[in-house]
C-alpha cells in the first residue's frame, strides 16, 4: 500500500545529503571495527603461537595428520549420537506431551495419574542424568529380566528419554499455563468441552510459544547423548576416547568436539532466530 503512495515521491536534496552523511558514518564505523579486530585477534594469535608450550599443545591437541586418521571412526560414532538424538527426541516429545497434559488436567478420574506425573517429573528432573544412565544401563541388565533388552544403545536411549521427558514436560506445561484464561473462557462459551478447548485452542498456541526453549533442549539432548559412552556405546565421545588412550594424543577429542560444534552452533543460531521472531510476533499481538 505504501509503495503505491511512494511511487511519485523522490527524496529532497536535504534527504539525499542526510543519506550521504549516514553512509559516511557507517563506512567510518566499519573501518574502525576492522582495524580493532585485526589488532586484537592478531595479537592473541601471535601470543598463542610464540608461547613456549605452543608446539607441544599443537602436537597433543591439533595433530592434523592424526585427526584425519581418526576422523572416520569418530564420525561413525557421531552417527550413533544423531540416531539417539532423533529417535530419543521423538519418544521424548510424545511422553513429555502426555506428562504435561496429565499435570494440567482437572479431570477427577485422572487424579492418580496427575500425582504420578508430578512424582515422575520431580524425580527425573532432580536426579543427575549420568546416574540415571548408570542405573538403567547397568542396573536393568543385572536384574536378568526376560524379554528386556540388554543392548546398551537401547538402554542408554531409555535413560536419556526418561530424564529429558521430565524437562520437556515442564517446558510444555509452562507454555500451557502461559495461555491467558480469557482464551479458555472464549472457547468454553462457544460450547467446546475442556478437552476440545485444550486440543484446538490452548495447545496449538502453547506449543508455538515454547518452540525456542524446546529447540534449546534439543541441542542439549544431542550433547548429552555423549554421556551414554560410559555404558560402552561406541559413540563419537567413546570413539575419540579409545583412540586417545591408545596414543596419548588428544586430537581425537578435539575432532569429536568440532563435529559436535558443527551441528550445535547452527542449531543454536537457528534457535536464537526463532526466539527473536517469536518475540517480535508477540509484540504485535498486543492485548492477547
Partner 1 sequence: MSNVLELVNVRKSFDAELVLNDLSLAVPEHTATVLIGASGSGKSTLLRCINLLETIDDGQIFLDGAEISDPLINVDDVRRRLGMVFQSFNLFPHKTVLENITLSPIKVHGKSKDEANSAATALLQRFDLADKADQYPDRLSGGQQQRVAIIRSLAVNPRLLLLDEVTSALDPVLVNEVLSAVRDLKSDGMTMVLATHEMGFATQVADEVCFLESGSIVERGTAEQVLHNPQNTKTQEFLKRVHEAGRL
Task: Report the distance separating Cα 152 and Cα 234, nearest Å.
Answer: 10
Task: Report CA dihedral (113, 115, 118, 124) to the nearest 10 degrees.
Answer: -80
Residue 200 engages partner 1 in binding (rule: CB under 8 A): yes
Task: State which residue, 184 or 223, has the beta carbon closest to partner 1.
Answer: 184
Residue 286 engages partner 1 in binding (rule: CB under 8 A): yes
Shortest distance (Å) from residue 197 CB to partner 1: 10
With CB under 8 A as the rule, give the number of residues binding partner 1.
Answer: 22
Report how far apart the first and last C-alpha atoms of the chain are (Å, whole number): 26
Residue 177 engages partner 1 in binding (rule: CB under 8 A): no
- 107: its cell numbers: 479431570
Q: Which of 92, 132, 201, 231 binds partner 1 (CB under 8 A)?
A: 201
Residue 108 engages partner 1 in binding (rule: CB under 8 A): no
Task: State which residue, 2 or 189, has the beta carbon closest to partner 1.
Answer: 189
Q: Which of 36, 182, 277, 280 binds partner 1 (CB under 8 A)?
A: 182
Shortest distance (Å) from residue 232 CB to partner 1: 46
Q: Which residue has the cell 552452533?
A: 265
Residue 150 engages partner 1 in binding (rule: CB under 8 A): no
Q: Which of 34, 44, 94, 185 binds partner 1 (CB under 8 A)?
A: 185
Q: Which of 87, 91, 127, 192 binds partner 1 (CB under 8 A)?
A: 192
Q: What is the CA radius of gyration of the chain?
A: 27
Task: Report the distance separating Cα 57 and Cα 64, nearest Å.
Answer: 12
Positive or negative: CA dihedral 129, 168, 161, 88: negative
Of residues 46-65, those binding partner 1 (CB under 8 A): none
- 116: its cell numbers: 504420578
Q: Which of 104, 174, 205, 264 binds partner 1 (CB under 8 A)?
A: 205
Shortest distance (Å) from residue 282 CB to partner 1: 10
Stretch that binds partner 1, among 7-15, 137-145, 191-199, 258-266 (CB under 8 A): 191-199
Stretch that binds partner 1, among 54-62, 144-152, 156-164, 202-210 (CB under 8 A): 202-210
Task: Return all residues near 228 (Cβ < 8 A) that are at least 6 apart.
Answer: 84, 133, 137, 152, 153, 156, 157, 159, 160, 235
Task: Return all residues near 42 (Cβ < 8 A) that are at least 6 apart.
Answer: none
Residue 176 engages partner 1 in binding (rule: CB under 8 A): no
Task: Report the distance separating Cα 125 and Cα 282, nearest Å.
Answer: 29
Residue 105 engages partner 1 in binding (rule: CB under 8 A): no
Task: State which residue, 148 or 288, has the beta carbon closest to partner 1.
Answer: 288
Q: Which helix (H) or strand (E) holds 145?
A: none
Q: Which residue has the cell 608450550?
A: 53
Residue 191 engages partner 1 in binding (rule: CB under 8 A): yes
From the number of C-beta atoms within 10 Å of its C-beta (0-12, 13-18, 19+), residue 130 rates as middle
Q: Which of 60, 104, 183, 220 binds partner 1 (CB under 8 A)?
A: 183
71 alpha-carbon distance from chain centroid: 24
Footprint on this chain of partner 1 (rule: CB under 8 A)? 182-183, 185-193, 196, 200-201, 204-205, 208, 284-288
Amino acid at each position: 500500500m505504501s509503495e503505491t503512495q511512494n511511487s511519485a515521491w523522490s527524496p529532497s536534496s536535504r534527504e539525499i545529503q542526510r543519506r550521504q552523511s549516514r553512509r559516511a558514518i557507517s563506512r567510518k564505523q566499519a573501518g574502525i571495527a576492522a582495524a580493532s579486530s585485526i589488532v586484537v585477534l592478531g595479537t592473541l594469535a601471535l601470543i598463542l603461537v610464540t608461547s613456549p608450550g605452543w608446539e607441544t599443545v599443537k602436537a597433543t591437541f591439533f595433530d592434523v595428520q592424526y585427526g584425519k586418521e581418526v576422523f572416520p571412526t569418530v564420525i561413525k560414532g557421531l552417527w550413533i549420537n544423531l540416531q539417539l538424538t532423533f529417535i530419543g527426541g521423538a519418544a521424548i516429545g510424545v511422553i513429555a506431551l502426555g506428562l504435561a497434559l496429565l499435570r494440567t488436567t482437572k479431570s477427577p478420574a485422572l487424579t492418580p495419574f496427575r500425582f504420578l506425573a508430578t512424582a515422575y517429573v520431580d524425580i527425573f528432573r532432580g536426579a543427575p542424568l549420568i546416574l540415571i544412565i548408570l542405573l538403567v544401563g547397568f542396573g536393568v541388565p543385572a536384574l536378568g529380566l526376560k524379554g528386556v533388552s540388554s543392548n546398551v544403545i537401547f538402554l542408554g536411549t531409555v535413560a536419556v528419554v526418561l530424564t529429558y521427558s521430565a524437562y520437556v514436560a515442564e517446558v510444555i506445561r509452562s507454555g500451557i499455563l502461559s495461555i491467558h484464561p480469557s482464551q479458555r473462557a472464549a472457547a468454553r462459551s462457544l460450547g467446546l468441552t475442556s478437552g476440545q478447548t485444550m486440543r484446538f485452542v490452548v495447545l496449538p498456541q502453547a506449543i508455538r510459544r515454547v518452540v525456542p526453549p524446546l529447540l534449546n533442549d534439543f541441542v542439549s539432548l544431542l550433547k548429552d547423548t555423549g554421556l551414554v559412552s560410559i555404558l560402552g556405546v561406541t559413540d563419537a565421545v567413546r570413539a575419540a576416547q579409545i583412540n586417545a588412550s591408545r596414543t596419548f594424543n588428544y586430537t581425537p577429542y578435539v575432532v569429536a568436539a568440532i563435529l559436535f560444534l558443527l551441528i550445535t552452533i547452527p542449531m543454536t543460531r537457528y534457535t536464537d532466530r526463532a526466539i527473536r521472531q517469536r518475540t517480535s510476533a508477540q509484540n504485535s499481538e498486543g492485548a492477547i
